Copies of this chain bind each other. A is one copy, B any other.
């Protein structure tokens, strides 16, 4: 219900809804009118007596509303000169349009995301219920910057068992995803005097952005079939080198044993750290997982694992296992960054790990992704022999390097896009643009399970059209 009402010749529509109450309705109407500029700065309001009479409300209602708006700075009350609109113009905020609808691809093979339709909602909620009901009261307060002890205990055992990581709960820091891991490590390295960090070339572009945002210089490390070329680090002054030894992103190679040892030797002699981004270490199909590099030297290697591929990126949870020497600066950096991660998801994951549900889920997904990979490899072999997927022993993506005589990376992406197929382009992963062989990355974990077969068909049709036999 609204009432029309006029001040200084300006008509106002005042909402008088029963829910809000009369005073609040009056306040809201006046506030809105002042904000909209309908009641301009300096405009004099009727006396409380007059307005109460006009509106048919108690005088106290109007004086309370005026007093509130004076307290908020919209109105000014001066002894003897009545109530006026405050002098500062109150600007109007336009309502931004809702973000433009994005086109949803018919077949989404952009890598980086596991199958979100397989997020274990029921197991999650069962664990969350236990976690929330069993948590001590103080779990809901400000807590340890490293994260909840329940999760750090579960992770220390899990990481040792599943990834060969040497972890104690005291050395684990739970973070908001690998993005925060990298940002915090960079800020610590910088504050310790580092000027540059080496990163694999190619790597994820946004990771370079994160490092660059911290003010560190980035040195590229070429990657060959045995992983990062450690020999190129010799003689460089670096705070750290960031590597993906289990399954290089995006090339998919596994770091060779000799490179692993060489990397540790280099880190020791250079007094530098190795940041091991173990983003998809849980997913290995052709043999036992390769244990984490960190196990070789927990004082030089900073291990980073994540829930983004095993559970869901939307959780924004990752974990660091850090050398003793970095504990204090990392904790300090975390305190001025955001203190710690949200406790409920942490307690929930701890329950999932302790109950075995986490391992069951990972096992189930590993089988599912392995089958997807096999289907992809078989379909390409049959229909697009020109393309040979690589990097397929592990992880959630396969690399397709494009033959130099065929269509370019841009042409492949355009054709795919025209058919509703979204791919991850290799191009932006290189540190310097241009001069690189073309390639695309197939994130075969991305499509929902129920739609994988049809998505794969669209994908293979696209390549078959681009590379006719």
Contacts and interface: CB of A to CB of B under 8 A. Distances in A.
Contacts of A293: 72-73
Nearest to A296: B73
Contacts of A341: 176, 316, 342
A369 to B, nearest CB: 16
Given A31-B164, A73-B261, A137-B117, A316 B342 contact: yes
Contacts of A257: 70-73, 76
Given A113-B142, A125-B132, A72 B176 contact: no
A265 interface: yes
Interface in A290-322: 290-291, 293, 295-299, 312-317
Given A125-B132, A129-B125, A296-B90, A176 B313 contact: no
Interface string A59-82: 000001000101111101000000
Interface stretch (A4-12, A235-243, A331-339, A455-463): A331-339
A180 interface: yes
A395 B340 CA distance: 24
Given A125-B128, A179-B338, A338-B180, A343 B314 contact: yes
Given A95-B168, A119-B137, A339 B73 contact: no
Given A35-B295, A73-B260, A88-B264, A141 B116 contact: yes
| Copies held by the complex | 2
Contact of A261 (B88, B139, B264): B88
Contacts of A94: 324
B76 A295 contact: no
Given A137-B116, A291-B72, A176 B342 contact: yes
A218 to B, nearest CB: 13
Contact of A338 (B70, B298, B316): B316
A87 interface: yes
A161 to B, nearest CB: 9
